[in-house]
Structure 1
Amino acid sequence: MNQAVPAPTVSPLRPTDTRSTAPTRMPWLSLAILAAMGFILVAAETMPAGLLPVIAADLQTSEGVVGQFISVWALGTVVVTIPALALTRGFRRKPLILTAILGLIVANSVTAMSGDVVTALVSRFFAGAFTGVVWGMLAAYGRRISPPARGGLALSIVSIGAPAGFALGTPLGATLGTAFDWRWAFIGLTLLAIIVFALIAFVVSDAPGQAASARLPLRRVFLLPGVAIVLAVILVWMLAHNTIYTYIAPYLRATGTGIGPDLLLLVYGLASIGGIGITAVLIDRVPRGLLHGSVALFVIAGTVLLLAHSSAPAVIAAAAVWGLTFGGASAQLQSALTLAGREHSDVANSFLPVAFNLAIFAAGILGAVLLQSADGLVLPIVMIALGAVAFTLTIVGRRTAFLPRR
């Protein structure tokens, strides 16, 4: 007599079989929802940059300490992303991302209700940690629910969320927080995250994790030709950008122009949208020239912010050029990293948020240290110097990382 074999116990996060029928239709709505999640992640991380004076006054601390709101978030992301990737590559995508978003919602809500700076900083660290889990899987998730032949398009759509967060999230948060209360800006993002959580739960399809046989060790992916140089450009360029972006309020006070952070960040944000559009048109045609031009104009914008700081029109114009050049940076560098990673592009792209957030963490500390002994005019000097280093790295990486055609 045959004996029945009991069904195996399956982890709620792990797939029973990573082999599945490949999707045949583009999940446009699902990709847009994942892009919205990317928008929330970046907006929530960088929003304190536009609210430094307001938060500092309410929590009775210095602007340098409030600048660490961004640094500790970035530190949480840096600490968690790579280990999370290594531990969860075989997990099913939907339960994992929903768990991480729920943790982010709780941590961000704690920040909004914090009555002291220590609680706020701790909650920001945990929010960054949950963000690291999401960043580590977001691009790969979009590719896995899309037809294999259109994986690049899926990646491009999902990656729109990050530059849109820089372009709109921070200035909108600054405007809302200045007009009402900084806590309302955080509460608004929590509500938006709840909406996206529900949309992912009910609209976005699940996807299996990566099969064990397909997992190349992270170290070997990092050592692929071109990957390290792209990450170096990300690190230096983002450090150049975020040092002044985080402490834009002290810079504007030093100019004496009377321009507020909310106005300048709005100009920057609107110009960034234009930068995203320019990148979309040119990235397949002249990716190398586009990158060289973007970094070069970024340095020029920093030069104007330094030399013409007393002129309000010049500062506004420089902010527009700054946004135009940096708006497409994420898409340009993610595209380069995808090509350098080749068939391991999903893993290569998981290094991107680590490099970004390592730079953000360092920028918060660097800016705070510099402002202890100098005024805000030191910040465009950092922007110029590090921007020049980033430009040099793009020249160095012409053969392996930044090719003339995709």
Structure 2
Amino acid sequence: MIDIKSIREDFPILNRKVNGYPLVYLDNAATSQTPKQVIKAITDYYTNYNANIHRGVHTLSQEATEKYEEARQKLQRHFNAAHPYEIIFTSGTTHGINLVANGFAALLQPGDELLVSAMEHHSNIVPWQMLCEKTGAVLKVIPMNEKGELEMEVYEQLLSDKTRIVFCNHISNALGTINPIEKIIKMAHDAGAAVLIDGAQAAPHIKADLQALDVDFYTVSAHKMCGPTGVGMLYGKESWLRKMPPYQGGGEMIAEVTFEKTTYADLPHKFEAGTPDICGGIAFGAAVDYMNGIGFDAIAAYEHELLDYATGRLLKEIEGVKIYGTAENKTSVISFNIEGIHPYDIGAILDKLGVAVRTGHHCAQPIMDYYKIPGTVRASFAFYNTREEVDRFIEAVQKAQMMLA
């Protein structure tokens, strides 16, 4: 059970007003809010042991190093990676995807094939297009249907002995669809291909077991799961991380440097050039602790209740509404339009009423092209939202429709 009153007290920002109205924050798929426990971890770092890591013999450096590596171990345990060194700290999901795409540049030949799903965020499309331009590899698309589900039969047909890597999101940021990644991974492996899963949208809702999934790469951003911006995680199987060349050169990622030759450091430091976001990594660990304290099963159940309640009210009470993303298996995201009204106009009026939603193509333009629309209004719910906030949201949409009709 979710103790919603106690949870909301952990998030100071939920007490503020926007345009004279109590804030209703429904843009969680873009960035979640940050609890006091994570803010405290950030303050504690800069107040008590701010120092560079892995390099100093002095007390502050050793304390910072210990806390940073503890955070790596927390992520290892949370996602059930086999080893701490399979967790690479990044600046976010985009960085993780680019790191893998860059590594595969050394492993591909002209004519090799890469498979991408039709419902990807631009961050999981553009780096692979760049890779294809560089290597002569071919990008192929797994199509989706009207409900926002991948066409798995077509996926099976696309797989071949030329397929080198398959990449898709665990959950669509634009539609809320939970993709059948267990099947996607197994089918790819049966064809001899690697798999990268973009877990940015899944991490706030699902506790992924990476060893059970047998996935090769999994990427996450801290700011989607109550952590700070600018930090994230790439999980990679040890065998792949050892095979790939470093993404960036610099300090920390080396074992020995001469002007004639450089020897790279062992994992994970091989992929962590330069001074990292030390505070961010520590705070990421604090965020994982916080969410585990609530429990992911409880979070998922509560958010599903909010999703069902909001979806039911929207369909019943808003004339001309169309929801995009009606997959049988989805998370707490509602993307919708109202006939005859541009999504931006709805979002602007909702903001005037204190309700924060996202409008536009959500960095998933191919999805919008599929539906032949310019974008959607997206309301995305988190475990700290309430039914009363859903009611405020519905009332605001009704007012916006009345004003814009």
- Same fold? TM cut 0.5: no
Higher percent of residues as helix? 1
**Please, what TM-score do these two structures have when normalized by structure 2?**
0.26
Q: TM-score, normalised by structure 1?
A: 0.26
When you count strand as a share of all residues, which structure comes out higher? 2
